[in-house]
Structure 1
């Protein structure tokens, strides 16, 4: 099969779509068990742009400067810290709507950018895979802000994570999760796992869907900010740092009442974010 075209920007298809370069992959492709899977990989990314060494060096210096000041910014102005980190990386965040307090925030998952972008909305305790704790930049921030880490290879640990998440929600904290469980390119998307929604049902708190989109400065959707396949965080980070600018829009959608079962609640959230 010939290599697919690698365009700079790819417009997201409405609703749940097949993978753009893997026609044989069904829209809800996943592996058995807890471990999620996405067919999105390097072929979904735009062709490599200029190396932009000066821009990358300038932004790395800016990120370091924000991190040095992080102890002063983390409490109480945590959203400010996340916005400054993204701005230092060349990412501009726009928020449409108001999140509200408490509840389970669920969003589609495109990139490492998403984690920081949700922090712009409000202080959010993220549910994240255990590996994130060891990531530079994001890992220490996640740990300090009370992230709930999941050992995805240990399916038996999942009920404990659901119970811990429900307890945090009952206490009035806002918890964020990416129910797809892994990153997708944006022109394709994955199924929402149901376990996080059980925590919202058990705690009796609303689910707050948030749609995340990434565009170039001229408004064209792009996959350039995505974190896909087996690439490292450093590779995905450097690709963003090389861009002239990346815009990330967070659209806060209508909250969903904690009714029905987790299958129904997950489906409602998925439909809302798919638009």
Structure 2
């Protein structure tokens, strides 16, 4: 337990006074979410047999379909060309982060070992090549770093959340440096990404997935929220030089820079990705 990341954020951080949709609308969103999850099961069987390009397209499309089911809009500030074989690192607020970042930068996810035990989702994550990390066993960390390095060397994009646990969004944690060693060893670029949530045009903590909050309760809270927007901003790529602590600090500094992009939502449909990167 000595290296397990800690966040002071808890369910008490969640703001509950946002505008909410009718219960009937929320129920329809949950039904659509479950349908989107179930729809991917047949595809998961053949997923490992697909080409790298096909896997990327499938993963990104599925992430977008889940966001669309929950009526969550996206605003993206990112270059059109994504670096190949990069380590993508982002701040961590919610399980929605995986869908949001996965929509823009599909790749192999690094997730806590607990996800492996989630009904259905755990099996799909395993089938999709997720790299699991056991935060409670220090002895397994070098093996996880080696797995990430191997994936990067193979040309795969790897997506990680180096805070190691979720924060409410109003506050952030530091980036733990271990995963950055994999990028240095593999000579892989690092792309920092900022994730931010708003509801009805205001910053919100409603999507945050904190403490002992059950996944079902979190999904219902998001389904009840009105006009949820997830903003994803990709920052300039960092070269894998220096030591891992310096690289982690540089990535964290990039992620802390936020420019609201909600003004770009006019005419955007739920789940649609809007590329607002300046030409």
Which TM-score tier does this pair reach, normalised by the shorter chain? 0.7 to 0.9
Whole-angstrom distance in 2 between the partners of 1:137 and 1:217: 32
Identify if the C-alpha distance between structure 1 residues 56 and 227 changes in structure 2 by more than 3 Å, giving closer, same or farther: same
Q: Partner of 1:64 in structure 2? A: 34
Residue deviations 1:42-91 (CA, integer Å, cap 9, x gap):
22111266583212210122112222332459663321111011110121
Alignment of 1:270 onto 2:252: yes
**Hey, what does 2:221 align to over in structure 1?**
239
Q: Which residue of 2 aligns with 1:114?
A: 97
Alignment partner of 2:220: what SS?
helix
How many angstroms does 1:114 deviate by? 0.4
Cα RMSD after superposing both structures? 1.8
Q: Hey, what does 1:103 align to over in structure 2?
A: 86
Who is 1:13 aligned against?
Answer: none
Structure 2 counterpart of 1:261: 243
Q: Residue 74 of structure 2 aligns with which residue? A: 93
Tell me the CA shift for residue 157 of structure 1: 0.8
Deviation at 1:121, TM superposition (A): 1.3
Tell me the secondary structure at the aligned position of residue 208 of structure 2.
Answer: coil
Whole-angstrom distance in 1 between the partners of 2:98 and 2:120: 11
Q: How does 1:67-216 map to 2 (within 5 A)?
A: 67-70=37-40, 71-72=42-43, 76=54, 77-98=58-79, 99-136=82-119, 138-216=121-199
Question: Number of matched residues?
Answer: 243
CA distance in 1, matches of 2:121, 2:224: 19
Give, in whole Å, the separation in 2 of the partners of 1:105 and 1:138: 22
Deviations 1:100-135 (A, max 9, x none): 322100000000100111210133111111101122
Which moved further from structure 2: 163-172 or 132-141? 132-141
TM-score by length of 2: 0.82
Q: Which residue is 1:35 aligned to?
A: 4
| In 1: Cα distance, 2:226 partner to 2:120 partner | 21
Unaligned runs of 5+ in 1: 1-31
**What is the CA–CA distance in structure 1 between the aligned matches of 2:184 and 2:141, rounded to whole Å?**
16
Structure 2 counterpart of 1:45: 14
Maintained 8 Å contact 1:118/1:124: no
SS, match of residue 209 in structure 1: strand
Distance 1:207 1:246 in 2: 28
Relative to total residues, which structure has the larger helix share, 1 or 2?
2
Task: Tell me, yes or no, if the aligned pair for 2:175 and 2:249 is still in contact at 8 Å.
Answer: yes
Question: Are the aligned partners of 1:90 and 1:243 in contact in 2 as well (CA < 8 Å)?
Answer: no
